[in-house]
Amino acid sequence: MRVFLTGATGFVGSHLARLLVQRGHEVACLVRPSSRLQNLSDVPLDILPGDLRDPYSIHAAMTGCQTVYHCAADYRLWCPKPDEMHAINVSGTRNVLETSYALGVERVVYTSTVGCLGLNPDGSPANEETPTSIDKMVGPYKRSKFLAEREAERWIKKGLPVVIVNPSTPVGDGDIKPTPTGKIIVDFLRGKMFGYVETGMNLIDVRDVAEGHLSAAERGRVGEKYILGNQNLLLKEIFGRLSNLTGIPSPTLRVPFWFAIAFARLENFWTGRLRHREPLAPLEGVRMSRHKMWFDSSKARRELELPQSPVDGALERAVSWFKQHGYV
């Protein structure tokens, strides 16, 4: 089967591209000319130049494909130009879905994020049905992905066979950018983590996320959302596991939220606004840390048979990969 994939050069997308090829699919990848191709250097793919903001390039690359995986997104917590992020994440998603509808593809898997989902006030794990609204979305990234998910729902109502997956926090090898979570690991390895805030994340092996995408295409119910997650951990627990893997001491200073947000505001003004560089602690990331991003992936485990590989193995691969590729 010939499939269409966006975001193949990224963290999740590159793992999905490899898995699709391993399963015998012919993969057409829409790739911007400026994208780094290191993650795909040894994968036999059909690399087609294009841009999510250019419907004509999407149509040309997607023609002849039966399944569409839309993984591409502008994922940054520091975003000096929110309009550009909106154009890629929202308008770009609309372009992919509109083209999928026009070409009559058999199935679309849209990669959203748990950042679009609601959180429970008591800190208990949320699920696909936990209510939320756009006014609860912190920062341009979460707002743009929330609106992109609404685009997917709009095309579902028109009859496009879309399944939505909401990955939690993938970790593992190949985090080339790195993602904000990968940057936390890199900063830990560099000894830059002097304290922690009392927050939490749901970690999952990036390879399990790729498996979840394939399962969503094969077994997911059209119109449904599936959280692709695994283990809920406090940030302190994540640092503890990294310490066990590396021998690097885990930070012991617990930083109050009020201090973290005050520091972030000052540092974002000085580094971001005045020096036009990415801050060490993006303000949006600190704001998100006020709540534990804990989720229940039982629906995906039940309906998609989502794998639950030990996250320590994924963290170990991430550490090894970052070291081998000169990030540390």
DSSP string of 212-272, one letter each residue = HHHHHHHHPPTT-EEEE--EEEEHHHHHHHHHHHH-PPPP-EEPPHHHHHHHHHHHIIIII
Q: List, for residues 159-196, the tens digit of each pLDDT value.
A: 999 999 999 999 999 999 899 899 999 999 998 888 77
**pLDDT confidence of residue 304:** 98
Rounded to whole angstroms, the Cα distance separating 112 from 115 reads 8
Q: List, for residues 208-261, the tens digit of each pLDDT value.
A: 999 999 999 999 999 999 999 999 999 999 999 999 999 999 998 887 766 667
**pLDDT confidence of residue 173:** 96
What phi and psi, each to the nearest 5 degrees, are found at residue 253? -85, 115
Considering only CA atoms, which of 301, 61, 322 is closest in space to residue 174? 322
144, part of any domain: yes
Of the listed ranges 115-119, 210-214, 260-264, the one predicted with least confidence: 260-264
286, part of any domain: no
Of the listed ranges 23-27, 74-78, 206-210, 262-266, the one predicted with least confidence: 262-266
Band (287; pLDDT cuts 50, 70, 90): low
3-state secondary structure of 152: helix
272, part of any domain: no
**pLDDT confidence of residue 42:** 87
Which carries the bigger pLDDT value, residue 327 or residue 283? Answer: 327
Domain count along the chain = 1
**pLDDT confidence of residue 286:** 63
Band (270; pLDDT cuts 50, 70, 90): low
Overall average pLDDT of the 62-89 stretch: 89
12, part of any domain: yes
**pLDDT confidence of residue 313:** 97
Q: List, for residues 30-75, the tens digit of each pLDDT value.
A: 999 888 888 888 889 999 999 999 999 999 999 999 999 999 998 8
93, part of any domain: yes
Token pair for 324: 């081998």
CATH number of the domain that residue 24 is part of: 3.40.50.720
Overall average pLDDT of the 69-94 stretch: 88
Band (274; pLDDT cuts 50, 70, 90): low
**pLDDT confidence of residue 45:** 94
Of the listed ranges 24-28, 31-35, 92-96, the one predicted with least confidence: 31-35
Question: pTM of the entire structure?
Answer: 0.93
**pLDDT confidence of residue 145:** 95
Residues in a beta bridge with 52: none
**pLDDT confidence of residue 300:** 98
219, part of any domain: yes
Overall average pLDDT of the 279-284 stretch: 69
* Residue 269 scores a pLDDT above 70: no
271, part of any domain: no
Overall average pLDDT of the 84-89 stretch: 92
Band (26; pLDDT cuts 50, 70, 90): very high
- Please say whether the beta carbons of 179 and 11 come within 8 A: yes
Specify the DSSP element, H or E, that contains 164: strand 162-167
Overall average pLDDT of the 116-140 stretch: 91
141, part of any domain: yes
Q: Containing domain of residue 61, as a range? A: 2-177+203-230+293-309
Contacts of 281 (CB under 8 A, 6+ apart): 260, 263, 264, 267, 268
Band (76; pLDDT cuts 50, 70, 90): confident
What phi and psi, each to the nearest 5 degrees, are found at residue 8? -65, -25
